Amino acid sequence: MTPPHALLAVRDLRVLIGGRHILHGVDLDVAPHGVTALLGRNGAGKTTTVRGVLGLVPRAGSVRLDGEETVALPTHALVRRGIGYAPEDRGIFAGLTVAENLRLAERPGAGTPSYALVHELFPELKQRARQVAGTLSGGQQQMVAIGRTLLNSNRLIIADEPTKGLAPRVVTEVAQVLERAAEAVPVLLVEQNLAVVRRLATHCVVLADGRTAHQGPAGGLLDDAEATRGLLGVGQGPLAPHTAEADS
Amino acid sequence: MSTIVLLTMTGLGLGALYFLIASGLSLIFGLMDVLNFAHGALLSIGAYGTWWAASGNLPGAGPGGGGFVLAVLFGTAVGTLAAVVLELAVVRPLYTRPREQVLATVGVGLAVPALLSGVWGSDARTFPGPEALSGTFGLLGADVPVNRLVLIVAAAVVLLALRLFLGRTRHGLVVRAGVEDRAMVTALGIDVRTAFTLVFAIGGCAAALGGALGGLYFGSVDPRQGTSLLIFAFVVVVTGGMGSVTGAAVAAVVIGLVQQFANYYTAAGLGDLAVVVLLAVLLLVRPRGLTGRLA
What's the pLDDT tens digit per position in A18-66?
Answer: 888 889 999 999 999 999 999 998 888 999 999 999 999 999 999 999 9
pLDDT band at A175 (very low <50, low <70, confident <90, very high): very high
- Dihedral angle over CA of A118, A123, A128, A132, nearest 10: -40
Res. B294 pLDDT band, cuts 50 70 90:
very low
Q: What is the pLDDT of residue A37?
A: 95
Between A222-236, B151-165, B225-239, the lowest mean confidence (pLDDT) is in A222-236
Residue B145 has pLDDT above 90, yes or no: no
Cβ <8 Å between B173 and A91: no
Q: Which of A200-204, A221-225, A242-246 has the lowest mean pLDDT?
A: A242-246
Quick one: pLDDT band at residue B117, thresholds 50, 70, 90?
Answer: very high
Contacts of A108 (CB under 8 A, 6+ apart): B170
| Contact (CB, 8 A) for A13 and A52 | yes
Q: For chain A, give the percent of residues with pLDDT over 90.
A: 66
Report the pLDDT value the prediction gives residue A224, as an integer from 0 to 100: 73
Q: What is the 3-state secondary structure (H, E, C) of A215-240?
A: EEEHHHHHCCHHHHHHHHCCCCCCCC
- pLDDT, position A242: 44
Q: Which residues of B171-206 are buried (b: 16+ CB within 10 A; e: fewer)?
A: ebbbbbbbbbbbebbbbbbbebbebbebbbbbbbbb
pLDDT at A234: 62
pLDDT of residue B141: 82
Q: Report helix angle B146-168 to B245-265, nearest 10.
A: 160
On whether the CB atoms of residues A16 and A58 are closer than 8 A, the answer is: yes
CB atoms within 10 A of CB B90: 17
Highest mean pLDDT among A218-222, B266-270, B271-275: B271-275
Name the minimum distance, in Å, from the CA of B290 to any CA of chain A.
16
Mean pLDDT value of segment B47-74: 91
Q: What is the mean pLDDT of chain B?
A: 89
Give the confidence band of B186 by pLDDT, cuts at 50, 70, 90: very high
In this prediction, residue A243 carries a pLDDT of: 42
> In this complex, is the C-beta atom of A80 within 8 Å of any C-beta atom belonging to chain B?
yes
User: What pLDDT sits at residue B144?
Assistant: 83
B249-281 burial code (b ≥16 CB/10 A, e <16): bbbbbbbbbbbbbbbbeeeeeebeebbeebbee
pTM (two decimals)? 0.84
Q: What are phi and psi of A24, to 5 degrees?
A: -105, 5
3-state secondary structure of B73: helix
Average the pLDDT over A218-222 and give the result: 78
Looking at the predicted structure, is the pLDDT value of residue A78 above 90?
yes
pLDDT in tens, A221-234: 777 777 777 667 66
Report DSSP letters for B23-62, one per residue: HHHHHHHHHH----TTHHHHHHHHHHHHHHIIIIISTT--
How much is the pLDDT for A246? Answer: 39
Determine phi and psi for A59, rounding to 5 degrees. Answer: -140, 165
Q: Between chains, do A100 and B173 touch, taking CB under 8 Å as contact?
A: yes
Cα B249 to Cα B161: distance, rounded to the nearest angstrom:
13
For residue B269, the 8-state DSSP code is T
Identity of the highest mean pLDDT range in A211-220, B84-93, B133-142: B84-93
CB pairs under 8 A between A and B: 59
Q: Which of B87, B53, B56, B12 is nearest to B212 (CA)?
A: B53
Q: In terms of CA atoms, which chain A residue is nearest residue B193?
A: A76
Are A93 and B181 within 8 A, CB to CB? yes
Q: Residue A80 and residue B189: Cβ atoms within 8 Å?
A: yes
What is the model's pLDDT at position A248?
38
* Higher pLDDT among residues B81 and B24, named by residue: B81
What is the percent of chain B with per-residue pLDDT over 70, rounded to a whole number? 98
Predicted pLDDT of residue B282: 82
Strand partners, B125: B221
pLDDT score of B176 more than 70: yes
Report the distance separating Cα A68 and Cα A82, nearest Å. Answer: 12
pLDDT tens for residues A101-130?
Answer: 999 999 988 788 889 999 999 999 999 999
| Residue A215 backbone dihedrals phi, psi, to 5 degrees | -150, 135
Say how far apart CA A218 and CA A196 lie, in whole Å: 12
Q: Is B190 on the interface with A (CB under 8 A)?
A: yes
| pLDDT above 90: percentage of residues in chain B | 52
Q: Max Cα separation, chain B? A: 59
Inspect the interface and report whether the beta carbons of B186 and A56 lie closer than 8 Å.
Answer: yes
Write the ipTM: 0.88
pLDDT above 70 (res A4): no
pLDDT at A2 over 80: no
Q: Could you tell me whether strands A59-65 and A68-69 are parallel, antiparallel, or unpaired per DSSP bridges?
A: antiparallel
Nearest CA in chain A to B172: A104
Residue type at A74 in one-letter notation = P
Mean pLDDT across chain A, nearest whole number? 88
Which chain A residues are Cβ-neighbours of B185 within 8 angstroms? 104
Range from A48-62, A85-99, B186-200, B263-277 carrying the lowest mean pLDDT? B263-277
Q: Does A87 lie at the interface with B, CB-CB under 8 angstroms?
A: yes
CA distance B267 to A118: 64
In this predicted structure, the answer to whether residue B100 has a pLDDT above a threshold of 80 is yes
CATH for A8-229 is 3.40.50.300
